[in-house]
Structure 1
Amino acid sequence: MTPSLFDAQIRWISWLKDQKRCSARTLEAYAHALRYYFDHLSTSLRTDLTLEDVVTVSSGDIRGWMAHLRGKDEPLSARSLAQHLSAIKSFHSFLDLHFDMPNAQVALMRGPRLKATLPRPLTQDQTLGLLHENQMDSDRDDWENARDEAVYMLLYGLGLRISEALSLQVKDAPLGDTLRIVGKGNKMRALPVLAAVRDAIEAYRAQQPFTLQPEDKLFRAKRGGELSPRHVQASVQHLRSRLGLSDRATPHALRHSFATHLLGSGADLRSIQELLGHVSLSTTQKYTQVDTEKLLSAYAAAHPKG
């Protein structure tokens, strides 16, 4: 039985969540893109949209929709356009797979060409300077400095994403020799815990002033609520301003630094891929380009032309 347009959308979201293991953020972005797509089609086709209307869209309809996105008062970036098209192609792929409703024209559509971007890590001196400057911040209570250092150590010492670090619960500490983290796509990975990371978390736990339950989030804001990613971003922004670092000094740059410094120390790509939780090795391979750029830069500095 052919579902309604609404039912197909609900089933698609469930499929993305349960079968494709997409993150909550991806689900939200894809659902938003699909709603915008349906609204545009309904307006351009001048009809109350049905699933049959969607199944029979042409490549011209898709190009018109993308042109509409580009022509907005605040036009989408090429990366956002690519994400919107990815969502639409995913929905049509789902219809083909589960309801035998293919659309070859949509499947062959290509999105905007994206400029390849490389990770932007910090140097080891910059990373250590960031950690030291945080310890010297007299504008806050000592436990807040200890908390932020513990978060930074998780990002730099274990290569966690901010969301992964802030997902730790009270019951997860004290950390053992390994830490199990559920990352993107609900993918589990086990990470070896450095003594420095463990010590930083224990220093924070010894100083934080709140009474917490085992299921509570480990990292707390000044008034006791859960620490937010925005706070971590603002704290690093404050420190980089004091140190005179560029805007590339972000919390996520600490994760990039973890990978780049490991690579520079001789770690193999496959191990780094597992530590970072990358699905594809090609994602991890970007760090080899960063390391090569550093090598060439050092070579040029040591052997100037002329």
Structure 2
Amino acid sequence: MASTRERTAWSTSGYLMLLVFLALAFLLILRVVTFAGTEPSDSQVAGFLGSIVLLPLALVLIAKGFYMIQPNQAAAITLFGAYRGTDRQPGLRWVWPWMGKIRISVRANNIVSEKLKVNDLRGNPIEIASNVVWRVSDTAQALFDVDDYKAFVVVQIESAVRSIGSRYPYDDIEHQEVTLRGSHDQVNAELREELNSRLAVAGITVDDCGLTHLAYAPEIAGAMLRRQQAEAVISARKKLVEGAVTMVEMALTQLSEKNVVELDDERRATMVSNLMVVLCGEREAQPVLNTGTLYQ
């Protein structure tokens, strides 16, 4: 399919042509008034008949060439179905009366997509929706290369969101890979790039986009919540044990370096066990006072 590219159309200021229109209207009125107050000859009658035919025809043709363009609006100019260019100059404009004018907005548009059910990278069903800010950047492509560019945008947004949703996992408790929930900037940037690639054929540019809804599908939401809780507990326990081992190692090292107490292997193991219980326990430890010796 041949791609249509926008180009600048010829047009002129409508205010200048409005002055011409008013001048011709005044001339027509003057001719009628002058003719009515005289006894014309045959040549004057012929001239009058010619003027009252030609001047109204000229007025009609000039009037048909007027059109208005508002800020951030454009008009595609056609000649018997052939594209002749686009006029983006705001205000009152004028082109030849046999030219067609198709107005199109180039303002920013905002679309919030429907909630879609998609399987993420791991096969989990999720619900996902996005917000997209788009605008027409090439009026010729939007009008002549696709049938309905607004419907085209809606369909391509749905396709792009489905593609992005299936490209990444919903979540990763260990934060070792890109996820839909944890990597918003990267996912949004990739979604925008995907949309611009898909909408380029329609002359549409996406200025901003982002996910507005992201959740597990209702049928697995409860199970995935319990899984997240379990993974969070495991991760917290892992960090707690790592910290406790470091603290125990530090305590034993400092006791040895400062010669606070000499411990054999058995008592060292007992101290390590007690410290680990105190540091890793969920409840506060109850101290036990030893009134004897260290080995009793």
- Shorter-chain TM-score category? under 0.3
**Structure of higher CA gyration radius:** 2
The structure in which a higher percent of residues are strand is 2
TM-score by length of 1: 0.19
Structure showing the higher helix proportion among its residues? 1
